[in-house]
Structure 1
Amino acid sequence: MTTDTPPLPAKSRFGAWARRLGWLLLVLLAAGAALAAYVFRPVAVAAPAPLQAHKASAAAGAYLAKVGNCAACHTTPGGAAYAGGVKFVTPFGTLFSTNITPDKDHGIGTWTYEQFHAAMKHGVRPDGTHLYPAFPYTSFAKMSDPDIASLYLYLRSVAPVAQPARENEMDFPFGNRALLHFWKTLFHDDAPYTPDNTRSAQSNRGGYLVEAVAHCGACHTPRNMLGAPDESRNLRGGVYVDQVASGAYRRWSAPDLTSGVHGLKEWSAKDIQSYLLTGKNPRAVVHGPMTEVYESTAHLTKSDAEAIATYLRDVAPGPARTDWSAFRSRMKEGEVVYTVHCGTCHLPDGKGDRILGVPLARNALVQAEDPSSLINVILYGPDLPDPPFASGRTTMKPFGKRLSDEDVAALATYLRSSFGNNAPQVSPEQVARQR
């Protein structure tokens, strides 16, 4: 006689497993529903101190709007100020900037200060949904509450414009704003700018302007595959797409702003101040997308321009890269192209002429990690401010119709490996992409 339990028939065993699987699916569905309810909920943020608690003014806000370059992103060419509609091409789809005039139907005329503060600080709309970080709240979050209040008062004072916002054209699945919950969890810090006690008050003022109000890192800091700034390489150069005067969209590289060998090491604090306030210095002339930024920096007070220069000189320099001078596959051809087309103005040693061409030696744009902006200048010319200002130099002509992709690649490679520059070589395919 045995006490062993006889095995269950096959049907009974299958029924037991089916019941367990059913319970597991129910648990997973319940967990998924709970997670979805949490992620898709309207976002609630802590209310700031009342508007009346701050020493805020529309006049102070007008200065902040200029320095923060709000008009460049919220005003189309020939359009009404701050009425939105500017197109932004991103790896995740196309966005259009919003109307930030006080129009009650299409702008922010019904927004309270608390709602405006939530947008600037937390990237949240009045309905509790997330804003896309093309609006640089990752930088604006560092602004002080009095400055946010002043900006709010200023935008309430501008002329309302009844212009509706254009619909964004996002790729799947990025049209779902709820996904930004995870992005913000990983990448958004809403803490205000904290002064560094090891730096001077002037340097800290410059840091506040660069990192918060002027959001320089939005263009000059590399981004990761999810579009978030790589803070470990802050201000060491970035890549973005921007519209040019012809209406075309072009890839650009923003140079390293640190005092490293690939950045502004050759620039003095006076050079930086002059570039911000006048659009030129002995080493460079404002061109390309920076012309829009110059429309803002030209309005800086002298003390704020000095503060920014001081801060940029204090930022930890980026490390020197691998020596790329060994990559000489196109160097000899590039030297010939340079001698024929460039050497007269930029001189055989690359140091430039005071009247003709800017210095190319140890030039931050020339040796940017991504060569897009250098290629653009060679192909299309330097796209100077409109109306042009007196730079004191002759205007460079475009060479796109004279030089082949191979010629431009050889020239760019030569420039990036000569005159004290050190950057990767350029391929004809990279040139073709920029045409």
Structure 2
Amino acid sequence: MRRLRKPRYWVPGILGVVVLAGVFASQSPGTGESATARPMTHAADTVNDIDALVERGRYVALAGNCASCHTRRGGAAYAGGVAFESPVGTIYSSNITSSIDRGIGNWTAQDLRRALHEGIAAKGYRLFPAFPYTSFTQMTDEDVDALYAYLRTVAADDYQPPANDFVFTQRWAMALWNRFFFQPARFEPDPKQTPEWNRGAYLVEALGHCGACHTPRNRFMAEDPLRAFQGGTLREYVTADKVRDWAAVNLTSSSAGLKAWSVDDLTRYLHKGFSLRGGAWGPMNEVVGNSTSRLTQEDARAMATYIKSFPEGGETSISVTAEQAALGQAIYDDRCEKCHGASGRGGMFSGPPLAGSAIVQSVDPDSLINAILYGATPPDGMKLGAWETMKPLADVLSDSDIANVANYVRGSWGNSAPPVDAARVAKQR
């Protein structure tokens, strides 16, 4: 499969220290270069044309999942203030409403293009790739202009997000980082592939920026193109002072990834929040609830078609031993078998399968640990078919118990994954 971005490599030395210090800081709210917004020029010259352009932009915003990052719980739409934990501190998303004072009300269509395509804000300073311009660079000009038209209709809100709390803010370092890890480029369809595959590639690689979570990062916090979509790690604020670690699963056709999933399975998962292979929960709740479930059935299927074309990657040779797995069987029989079955295959009216599960077999066990500790609930307003919501066991099982039962499911029914210890569970308490 042809990769859409050429690999970039890091270089050792002082550059690494400088870049690591700033790479995950977010864009600061800013205004344009003048107090008066210059009008966007486009082909729409009737009310119907403008309405169609705005509607297209609304859909682009859904496909890009803009709301999840720029709308804090209880806040105005797109007013920012969502907290993100990074290796260099806490980052708050910016206000992208039409507010002139606090948002991007003074930005022009050209300003937005430059931000999305080049990672440069309206005032000329460089953005940090917590704002995923490394993916958005592939967006078409037409989609960016439509998004601009839509954002102009978003009600202005003068909320000021908190100041970022990270160690360094040297934006000049991004010029060096971009030199090694970023190449501006528009999406180019592959003539050897079907229109459906190419549409899926555009949605996954550009608008959906799926690699931002599902691709491992190198020591400079850049996505590693040689391990594309082989699973990543992320952190999520649970409360103001509590951060929880998660594992973004391997999306390749590896046995530790989505090998067991069909295109139909993945399409239903993206569009409905569940399939017979699994259901959405954790950080994916916002992705499904705010984005993929609101796309057309055709676009969800296009994404699934593209993802299922990924070659195998991310296998591990380290696995739970039979002795380690045996320690958790009694706990599984007592607490888990009713829903997931003695065979680990689950059932339509009981629970999702654990055999062949990408979450269960992830090299990083944090999402599985979270499910056992805190249970699993579907996206707001969505149901996981006939499945029951998984109940939390944090107050029932000890750290050792949870590690043992995790090892049981990670080493049974053909599953293969590294063992979990009690210390790893304790970190998620």
- TM-score range with shorter-chain normalisation? 0.7 to 0.9
Matched with 2:217 is: 223
Secondary structure in 2 aligned to 1:207?
A: helix
Q: 1:126: Cα distance to partner? A: 1.7
Deviations 1:311-333 (A, max 9, x none): 011122215321524x3452221
**1:125 and 2:121 are equivalent in the alignment:** yes
Matched with 2:427 is: 433
**1:94 and 2:100 are equivalent in the alignment:** no
Matched with 1:298 is: 293
Deviations 1:95-119 (A, max 9, x none): 1100001111100000111111111
Amino acid of the residue matched to residue 341 of structure 1?
R
CA contact (8 A) 1:282 1:354 kept: yes
Matched with 2:12 is: none
For 1:387 and 1:304, the matched residues in 2 are separated by 21
Secondary structure in 2 aligned to 1:260?
A: coil
For 1:268 and 1:157, the matched residues in 2 are separated by 39
For 1:163 and 1:229, the matched residues in 2 are separated by 32
CA contact (8 A) 1:54 1:146 kept: no
Secondary structure in 1 aligned to 2:196?
A: helix
Matched with 1:253 is: 247
**1:59 and 2:55 are equivalent in the alignment:** yes
For 1:185 and 1:379, the matched residues in 2 are separated by 42
CA contact (8 A) 2:258 2:358 kept: yes
Matched with 2:139 is: 143
My pick for the range that moved more, 369-378 or 52-61, is 52-61
Matched with 1:27 is: none
Deviations 1:48-100 (A, max 9, x none): xx953567811111001011110110001111000001101000111110000
CA contact (8 A) 2:71 2:78 kept: yes
Deviations 1:349-375 (A, max 9, x none): 101122122100010111111000000
Secondary structure in 2 aligned to 1:120?
A: helix
Matched with 1:420 is: 414
My pick for the range that moved more, 384-393 or 195-204, is 384-393
CA contact (8 A) 1:244 1:289 kept: no
Q: 1:213: Cα distance to partner? A: 0.3
Secondary structure in 1 aligned to 2:328?
A: helix
Matched with 2:265 is: 271
For 2:211 and 2:293, the matched residues in 1 are separated by 19
Secondary structure in 1 aligned to 2:200?
A: helix
Residue among 363, 379, 397 paired with 1:403? 397
How do residues 16-27 of structure 1 correspond to structure 2 at under 5 angstroms? Answer: none
**1:106 and 2:95 are equivalent in the alignment:** no
For 1:238 and 1:175, the matched residues in 2 are separated by 25
My pick for the range that moved more, 81-90 or 257-266, is 257-266
Greater relative contact order, per chain length (Cα 8 Å cut-off, separation 6+): 2
Q: 1:251: Cα distance to partner? A: 0.5
CA contact (8 A) 2:253 2:308 kept: yes
Matched with 1:16 is: none
Residue among 74, 79, 92 paired with 2:75? 79
Matched with 2:9 is: none
Matched with 2:199 is: 205
Amino acid of the residue matched to residue 137 of structure 1?
Y
My pick for the range that moved more, 56-65 or 244-253, is 244-253
Q: Which segments of 5 or more consecutive residues in structure 2 lack a partner in the other structure?
A: 1-38, 45-49
Matched with 1:341 is: 335
My pick for the range that moved more, 124-133 or 385-394, is 385-394
Matched with 1:3 is: none
TM-score computed with the length of structure 2 as normaliser: 0.86
Matched with 1:38 is: none
**1:361 and 2:355 are equivalent in the alignment:** yes
For 2:87 and 2:322, the matched residues in 1 are separated by 33
Amino acid of the residue matched to residue 223 of structure 2?
P
Matched with 1:35 is: none
**Change in CA separation of 1:423 and 1:372 when aligned onto 2, cut-off 3 Å:** same
CA contact (8 A) 1:54 1:145 kept: no
For 2:420 and 2:370, the matched residues in 1 are separated by 13
CA contact (8 A) 2:81 2:94 kept: yes
Residue among 317, 324, 342 paired with 2:312? 317
Matched with 1:116 is: 112
CA contact (8 A) 1:222 1:237 kept: yes
Amino acid of the residue matched to residue 237 of structure 2?
Q
For the pair shown, which has the larger CA radius of gyration, 1 or 2? 1
CA contact (8 A) 1:101 1:108 kept: yes
Matched with 2:371 is: 377
TM-score computed with the length of structure 1 as normaliser: 0.85
For 1:378 and 1:247, the matched residues in 2 are separated by 22
Deviations 1:379-409 (A, max 9, x none): 0001332345253111211111111111111
